[in-house]
Amino acid sequence: MSARKKIGYAIASVAALAIVAIGLIVASTTSKISGIFKANESLKSEGYYLSEFEFQMLGIAYHLDHGSYRLALSRLDAMHRKMTTGEGLVKIPQFANAVERLDFYLNLQNPRTGAFYSVEGDPLVSCFGVTANMINFIEELAHDAARPFRLKYPLKFLDEIDTPAELERMMDDAGSVGWIGARFKAPYVSLIELNDLMEQDERLHVYGFRDDVKLAFHQWFYDHQDPETGLWGPLDRASGKVLDGGDVGDSGKVIKMFVDNDGNDILPQFPLRYVDRIFASSLDQLAEPIPTRLDDLHRWILTKDRGLRFLTRYLWKKAPAAEKERARALMQDFVRVRFEHYFVRTDGAFSLYPGAAHADLDGTGEAVGMYDYVGALSPTKQARLWGGPAETIADLGMRKVAKIGPAEIAAIADRTEVNSMRFYRTEPGSDFLHHAVGVLYPRETHAPDLVDLLPRIAAWLDVTAQTMGNWITRDSIAEELAAVQVDGAPVLGSDAAVTLDAMLKEEARLVVIGFDALQVPRYRLVLEKM
């Protein structure tokens, strides 16, 4: 064998071993990541402080992607050990008063950097999201404690990007990925959250961003929108193009920099482009089926929430009717999937992970947010998305009956689009969340009706020991529910006809409304005692 061939075989052997080694590292990493996410699910329900969790995982992904394998794997090992043993974690205590609670969270700020992030040596982008989340939370706590908003330490970590050139270098670095980074959720998602800090600065004066820095921040995202899909996402480091045409979840965060909640341009120098492509591209991604791996499931449900919110909040008025119908079908399916896989019946609330033993604040908050973006919590939003009751309800008239039987129930129950039925003693008008006296689910597979679900969530919030999830607080969910006035109603079982007939004898009249999975009223029938 020639020397050249020997060298060639040696190189091929080394390359093969390298590929095998890298494959084993990726497999081991994936297994540990799944274990960490599983532990996160359990620890949240036990009341541990885990606000840094998501962002430390992004830091690990960054180090892996930048070739710092030893550092990344040691961080991953440490994270796995901490999450599976509880070693080094902080359990949120019971507080005597609002001031004590505020002081506890203020003390979580890093005195050296000012970020609410404890790990040294991670990329700057790891600090953005968690710090923005904690500032929002501390603003709420300060209000509850009747104290002025004030952090303990200045946000010195932002000094590293206090010029447009420094900012752009950081964004070019954190906003691009190699082949390893493409396998995980990229730090790009946290890059967007610098916008939250800039918005907080306008209101709370937490730092003092220069105007040219804010302009450069907007310009970078404006320049890196994919022209073919209209979406945003991390850049492929080799080609400089948006990876896989962009990510609908990331795009849902970026777009709010350029348009308001009605889809109007915010800044005249940055008019929204490629609107005709954004909606269709988003629907294609949102149609992806539910995955099996836990970390992929975590990403999938957040992408669904952010993507659908992105469509209904910012793009709806410009979308074609056919694409709105496609979006409606995706939303109805998602509402059912969330209930079937993420609802914890014993708690009456949701988890962020499927099949969990306990509900958590992040999963419940995202579920309540889902009902908001599909229009179910507000008659005004519902009318904007789907039309008002006069447009959505098919009136089946009035029936005089001697006794309520299966035929009267089937008149609405047999309609395929009907998810639930509510029964009212008086005409509900357009205020369908009040005065219902019963709820009936025509089929075993269904989404929850809000007059059944929202009181159960409120009851869980009253008794759970959890106060803060990875990014959602108990108080923020309670505040959102407080804005939605709802009268709970009992769920009718197999003897529904008997129960309803007794009501009819007492009232002489019942109004029946059939709702679809998005809580849109679809059918109306009046039953009167003969």
The model's pLDDT over 142-189, given as tens digits with 9 standing for 90+, comes to 999 999 999 999 999 999 999 999 999 999 999 999 988 888 777 888
Indicate the average pLDDT of the chain. Answer: 90
Distance, CA of 103 to CA of 109 (rounded, Å): 11
The model's pLDDT over 363-387, given as tens digits with 9 standing for 90+, comes to 999 999 999 999 999 999 999 999 9
* DSSP alpha helix (H) spans, 46-163: 53-65, 69-85, 98-106, 126-144
Distance, CA of 204 to CA of 197 (rounded, Å): 10
Query: How far is C-alpha 338 from the geometric centre of its chain's CA atoms?
Result: 12
First to last CA, the chain: 102
The three-point CA angle 522-261-449 to 5° equals 30
Q: Looking at residues 467-493, what average pLDDT do you find?
A: 92
Distance, CA of 330 to CA of 325 (rounded, Å): 9
pLDDT for 101: 95
For residue 373 the two structure tokens come to 């973006």
- 187 and 198 Cβ atoms separated by less than 8 Å: no
For residue 285 the two structure tokens come to 């991604």
Of the ranges 27-36, 59-68, 206-215, 301-310, which is most confident? 206-215
The model's pLDDT over 193-224, given as tens digits with 9 standing for 90+, comes to 999 999 999 999 999 999 999 999 999 999 99
For residue 360 the two structure tokens come to 């958590």
The model's pLDDT over 60-104, given as tens digits with 9 standing for 90+, comes to 989 999 999 999 999 999 999 999 888 889 999 999 999 999 999
Dihedral pair phi/psi, residue 250, rounded to 5°: -65, -40
pLDDT for 54: 86
